[in-house]
Amino acid sequence: MSVQEILAGVGAFSLHDLLVFEEKALRKTVKKNDVLLREGDICQYVYFILSGSFVQFHADNTGDIIIDLHLPTEWMFNHPSLIDQTPSGTTIKAFEDAEVIELSLIGLHELIGVSQSFLNLGRIFGQANHRTYLFDNALSPSQKYDYIKKVKPLIVQVFPVKMIASYLKITPETLSRVRANY
């Protein structure tokens, strides 16, 4: 995937902008179970997922509580930690081998300093709207599943039922019943 394709979803950029982005961004290979952000660390990077998938979760004494499931062509980061520069309440871990574009917060600020076009990258911070919609509305388990299939259709092909159920804040049994109706 080219830099132009990566940035196409956030705005229009000149050839010079694309070259500057390539200078600031780092292409990384990530192995299954590698951690990009640990709970308690301050988020300093945004990632664009080229391939593979990631899980963002909070660990407690009952197990992992899935906060988000990330797929290719998504921007990924811990929103509150990155924006407020406070310790992250979640861990971001590779669910499978992956490749990402990593851009530091400092690099993002430098890009904006070079070209106002990079202010368009602010659009990636609106991604949290999917999660907000999912949980700020009184959706039934069936409506939650319908919504997630519409917004992230590959999610059901990549992640196990238990993880999807945790993400949707329903039991695996409930999710299995909902899926049986499809």
Q: What are 20-33's pLDDT values in tens digits?
A: 999 999 999 999 99
The per-residue DSSP string of 56-74 comes to: EEEEETTEEEEEEEE-TT-
Within a domain: 156? yes
119 in the same domain as 155 = no
83 in the same domain as 33 = yes
- State pLDDT tens for residues 54-88: 999 998 888 889 999 999 999 999 989 998 999 99
Q: So what's the pLDDT on residue 126?
A: 67
- DSSP type of residue 139: -
Within a domain: 144? yes
The span from the CA of 178 to the CA of 182, in Å, is 7
Q: Provide the terminal-to-terminal Cα distance of the chain, rounded to the nearest Å.
A: 33
Q: So what's the pLDDT on residue 72?
A: 95
Within a domain: 14? yes
- Given 103, 125, 147, the domain boundary residue is 125
Name residues whose C-beta falls within 8 Å of residue 76's C-beta, 6 or more positions apart in sequence: 36, 46, 47, 48, 49, 54, 56, 68, 70, 92, 100
Is the model's pLDDT at 120 over the cut of 90? no
Q: What is the mean pLDDT of residues 90-112?
A: 95
Q: So what's the pLDDT on residue 132?
A: 59
The span from the CA of 162 to the CA of 20, in Å, is 42
Q: So what's the pLDDT on residue 90?
A: 95
Q: Which domain holds residue 163?
A: 137-182
The span from the CA of 74 to the CA of 171, in Å, is 26
Alpha-carbon distances of 172 from 141, 176, 180, rounded to whole Å: 11, 6, 12
Average pLDDT, rounded, for the chain: 90
109 in the same domain as 20 = yes
91 in the same domain as 29 = yes
Within a domain: 59? yes
119 in the same domain as 92 = yes
How many CA atoms lie less than 13 Å away from 65 in the CB half-sphere?
Answer: 10
Q: What is the mean pLDDT of residues 159-169?
A: 93
Q: So what's the pLDDT on residue 11?
A: 85
Within a domain: 131? no
Q: So what's the pLDDT on residue 84?
A: 93
Within a domain: 132? no
Lowest mean pLDDT among 117-121, 129-133, 174-178: 129-133
Is the model's pLDDT at 128 over the cut of 60? no
Structure confidence at residue 154 as a pLDDT band (50, 70, 90): very high
Domain count, the chain: 2
